[in-house]
């Protein structure tokens, strides 16, 4: 059997932790192998937005995610921000794709300028140099010229800039529906089949005059 594709998911301090956690849930359900990276700021946001206390120790967060997702043995791994011997730190063993979700403007700027001060930035740098899929989900508004120029620089390198901007043509009824919309678009970019939202032209009805 072909090993599952490996996706690195990095959680940073931007608003939008529900997107990142739902993405991890969906990838595990789709039988992908997931490597999780996270910042200290992501722990603060998780508490603020979801009233979840993410463990500060990677091993404890791995156990927490293992229970949350019911991942199989070896399907999920969590690495600390200074864990330089993690697979994602080297181009000799990169993930097949990486998603930074949510992506803070600080992380985006560091990636755009080739910084590698922590494992998230290094893993993104590896993804770019090895020409692997890299998706950034930046959550900020309004966007300054600095933000836009950094995004343009990365887009020209082939990085996918995917703002979490849910559409309303699917008639979302809950916050979870809006989260699913964004996660579905990320999964589409990864080539992971999903049925989180109805597809345009299938079950979405046209508005009446």
**105 known member of a binding site:** yes
Annotated binding residue at 191?
Answer: no
39 is in an annotated binding site: yes
167 is known to lie in a ligand binding site: no
> What are φ and ψ of residue 187, in 5° steps?
-60, -35
Sheet order of strands, 97-103 included = 76-79, 33-38, 6-11, 97-103, 133-138, 160-161
139 is in an annotated binding site: yes
Q: Is 169 annotated as a binding residue?
A: yes
Residue 90 DSSP label: S
Question: Residue 15, annotated ligand binder?
Answer: yes
Helix (H) or strand (E) holding 137: strand 133-138
Alpha carbon separation from 191 to 29, 97, 102, 145, 194 (Å, rounded): 14, 10, 19, 32, 9
Q: Is 13 annotated among the ligand-binding residues?
A: yes
User: Could you tell me which residues are annotated as the binding site for dimethylallyl phosphate?
Assistant: 169, 185
User: Could you tell me which residues are annotated as the binding site for FMN?
Assistant: 13-15, 39, 104-107, 139
User: Could you tell me which residues are annotated as the binding site?
Assistant: 13-15, 39, 104-107, 139, 169, 185
């Amino acid at each position: 059997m072909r090993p599952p594709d490996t996706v690195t998911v990095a959680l940073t301090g931007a608003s939008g932790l529900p997107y990142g956690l739902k993405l991890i849930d969906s990838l595990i359900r789709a039988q992908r192998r997931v490597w999780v990276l996270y910042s200290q700021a992501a722990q603060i946001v998780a508490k603020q937005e979801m009233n979840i206390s993410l463990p500060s120790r990677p091993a404890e967060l791995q156990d927490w995610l293992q229970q949350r997702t019911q991942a199989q043995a070896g399907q999920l791994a969590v690495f600390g921000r200074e864990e330089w011997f993690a697979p994602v730190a080297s181009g000799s063993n990169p993930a097949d794709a990486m998603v930074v979700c949510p992506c803070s403007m600080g992380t985006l700027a560091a990636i755009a300028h080739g910084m590698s001060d922590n494992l998230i930035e290094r893993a993104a740098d590896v993804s770019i140099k090895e020409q692997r899929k890299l998706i950034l989900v930046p959550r900020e508004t309004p966007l300054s010229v600095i933000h836009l120029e950094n995004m343009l620089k990365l887009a020209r390198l082939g990085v996918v800039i995917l703002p979490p901007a849910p559409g309303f043509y699917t008639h979302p009824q809950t916050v979870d529906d809006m989260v699913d919309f964004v996660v579905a678009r990320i999964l589409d970019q990864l080539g992971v089949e999903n049925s989180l939202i109805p597809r345009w032209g299938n079950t979405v009805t046209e508005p009446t005059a």
